[in-house]
Amino acid sequence: MPAAQLWSTERPVLYRMRTTVKADNKVIDQTLVNFGIRKIEFCADRGFLLNGKVVKLKGIANHESHAGVGVAIPDRLHIWRLEQMKKMGANAYRCAAKPHSPVIYHAADRMGILVLDEFREFGDNFLVKVHEKETFDHLTYQRIHVKRNRNHPSIILWGLTNEQGQVQNKPVGAEMTRKLMEVVNELDGTRLTTAAVNHGFSEDGICSAVDVIGFNYHSFEYDRVHALFPDKPKIGTESSAELSTRGFYERTRIRGGEGIPEGPDVFGDVTNGWLTAYSENRTGWGELSHVAWKAVAERPWMAGYFIWTGMDYKGEPTPFAQPKQPSISSYFGIMDICGFPKDVYWYYKSWWTDEPVIHVFPHWNWQGREGETIKVWVHSNCETVELFLNGKSLGRKTMEINSYLEWDVEYAPGKLEARGVTKDGKEISAAVETTDVPAGVALAPDRTELVADGQDLAWVGVSVIDDKGRVVPTADNMVRFSVTGPGIILGVGNGNPASHEPDKASQRSAFHGYCMVLVQTTREAGEIVLKAESEGLAPVSVTITSE
């Protein structure tokens, strides 16, 4: 193909190959396979190159878990989730610890998203952690994995294993790695391999064998390991592990051991199992977002990294745990389990995109706390930002690259506004206002035209609003849903990591002003009308067309 167009993140050109099997000149089998043509390289001093151009991997790691459906995620919802991550500026996706749904790889091919595809096991046994007597006789699982996915142009790296602490720093770990690499090279041979190592990085362990050294956290080890293996490329396979709850800003200090395991202090509500949405909480092994990203951005030889995680997921409610707290889902996400952005979303959007960005938080509903100091943060890529309260300047500050700004503000109701100046002199602003009491409900479907195939769906954002249409950030009203026409309510959610309300239901309480409902088509065409009601609030409906 001498005139082939190259596949890239900006222009993911795909071709299709038809393979036909004939016997006696009669077609007995045929298959179609999409593929792309591109050149991928990992370089020890320049990082990752796509078609000869350095591309910093701005990645998210994800589990397959979503409010309303659990791990049984419909194809369209998988695509919607990838769309939200790409809007944030992510260009890469790690299939955390196992192969993911086929639709994710196909969508990544079409959307120009680079994929780190990862095995679940490190041997023939289906174990969480391996041991030194692990068998490597057949590796059937890994062979199936590579054969299934090897034609996807989006996949740039094979992840052989994740955090195998018992062997990762021993020669036997290196032996296991080389055995897996033989299988990958036999069946593919066009991509390099990595392994997610979470401590040690020894000279004779997994790092000595794998093509690309993978760091799970430990950014303070980057320089030492780079000096130890100067000729090997390096990547952050799992980074940050910042903890937060969307829309929650109370800053009560919780010390390690006081209702949570020993570890760093965090800020939040230990009884309800909520953590502040400021970027100030992390695990004992993790780092805050601005610390983790700076460590990669400032080192050209680091190919990039994958945030843990893009979205919250059921399970692993670190640092909380039952029965002391009611928590049932994680706090790691840049978005909550519904897909509503947390404030840190705008940190990444500021530094991962070229779009002018400015975002101010927290909300400004602090009735009864007049005169108290409220910590105000701004995420932005503006060169300077000035903060105003009810039109009065609270000072202008200069933004450090890959950082954020903060002010201490005495609370007074009204309008808190951040005004920024971009590097090209453009002025942009963002504001939060003190709202009135809840007066109604608003519905915001991601699409209003669906396919009547019994699978397509609309993600519908639900918000509780005041009489001026502003979202009330403290609202927790119960919202009831009903559908008429050829559609069903597939599931509901609200992003509360400690909510025990059922996901399979026709109602959900708002959490900090928001909840979500998934509306799925049937196999009949027609108009689907979704109605939302809440006691004492004005009802609302939206029409979705199914064809």
Residue 370: its pLDDT value, please?
A: 96
Residue count (the chain):
547
Q: Is the per-residue pLDDT at 56 higher than 70?
A: yes
Model confidence over 21-43: pLDDT tens digits? Answer: 999 999 999 999 999 999 999 99
Residue 409: its pLDDT value, please?
A: 98
pTM: predicted TM-score of the whole model, two decimal places: 0.95
358-433 CATH choice from 2.60.40.10, 3.90.1150.10, 3.20.20.60, 2.60.40.1150: 2.60.40.10
Residue 400 corresponds to which tokens in the numbers above? 């450090």
Residues belonging to the active site: 163, 238
296, 304 contact by CB (below 8 A): yes
* Domain 38-241+283-316+334-352 in this protein, CATH class: alpha beta
Give residue 285's identity as a one-letter amino acid code. W
Tally the C-alpha atoms within 13 A of residue 152's C-alpha that lie toward its C-beta.
26
Q: Reduced to 3 DSSP states, what percent helix, strand and coil does the chain have, rounded to the nearest 5?
A: 15, 35, 50
Q: Do domains 358-433 and 440-546 have the same CATH topology?
A: yes
Q: How far apart are CA 444 and CA 368, in angstroms?
A: 32
Model confidence over 445-486: pLDDT tens digits? Answer: 999 999 999 999 999 999 999 999 999 999 999 999 999 999
Domain 440-546 is of which CATH architecture?
A: Sandwich (2.60)
Q: What would the mean pLDDT of 485-501 be, rounded to a whole number? A: 97
The DSSP 8-state label assigned to residue 125 in this structure reads: S
Residue 54 corresponds to which tokens in the numbers above? 């350095």
Alpha-helix runs per DSSP H in 241-384: 289-297, 344-352
The SS3 of residue 519 is strand
Model confidence over 287-341: pLDDT tens digits? Answer: 999 999 999 999 999 999 999 999 999 999 999 977 888 999 999 999 999 999 9
Q: Where are the chain's structural domains?
A: 38-241+283-316+334-352, 358-433, 440-546
- For CA atoms 42, 45, 46, 52, the dihedral sign is negative
